[in-house]
Amino acid sequence: MKFTELNIAGCYRAESPVWGDDRGFFREWFKGADFATTGIVFDTQQANLSFSARNVVRGLHYSLAPEGQAKAVTCVGGDLVDVLVDIRVGSPTFGRVELVELSAAQGTTVVLATGVAHGFCVTSETASLAYLLSSPYNPTMELEIHPFDAEINVPWPLDGDALLSPKDAAAPTLAQRRASNELPTYL
């Protein structure tokens, strides 16, 4: 795997080869040994899979789990745009937004540092995103910020109305989370 640091401190794009023929393709999207050579410590504790329709926007989600929660994500069906937002208090890249196009046919994995908010938008008819998490889901520590917060101003690539969960539609803004001391700290 080839790792390239994104514009958000501690976040990476990992590229791996895709071997295809008339039957389909094969690719490796996570190799612990390759992660270790970059200094990224990633101890997988949970794996998730999300399936969504066109114009579904999920996020912006993050965790305040005391042990932290890094993520490695890749598209395993369809196409989507993955969104990272640095909301870590004290981070040199606080407030930065990074969009990464992901497709099942590409060999791209996005690695999110602990405390970076995550979301995505489906740009094909349907898409599936696979997640590896460095800590298990903890409902009392999982938070969200409204995906259309004007302060963050994510340029979601929609071709129609956004489809949001009720929880995401009712999520507080970044300013509200900041005022409530509900943002992660940069480590």
Is 131 a residue of the active site? yes
Selecting among 62, 118, 131, 137, the annotated active-site residue is: 131
Q: How many residues does the chain have?
A: 187
Q: What Rg, from alpha-carbon coordinates, does the chain have? A: 16
**Sequence-ordered list of residues with C-beta below 8 angstroms from that of 140, at least 6 positions apart, any chain:** none
Is 146 a residue of the active site? no
Considering only CA atoms, which of 62, 82, 66 is closest in space to residue 177?
62
Selecting among 12, 61, 118, 186, the annotated active-site residue is: 61
**Sequence-ordered list of residues with C-beta below 8 angstroms from that of 173, at least 6 positions apart, any chain:** 145, 146, 149, 150, 151
Positions marked catalytic: 61, 131
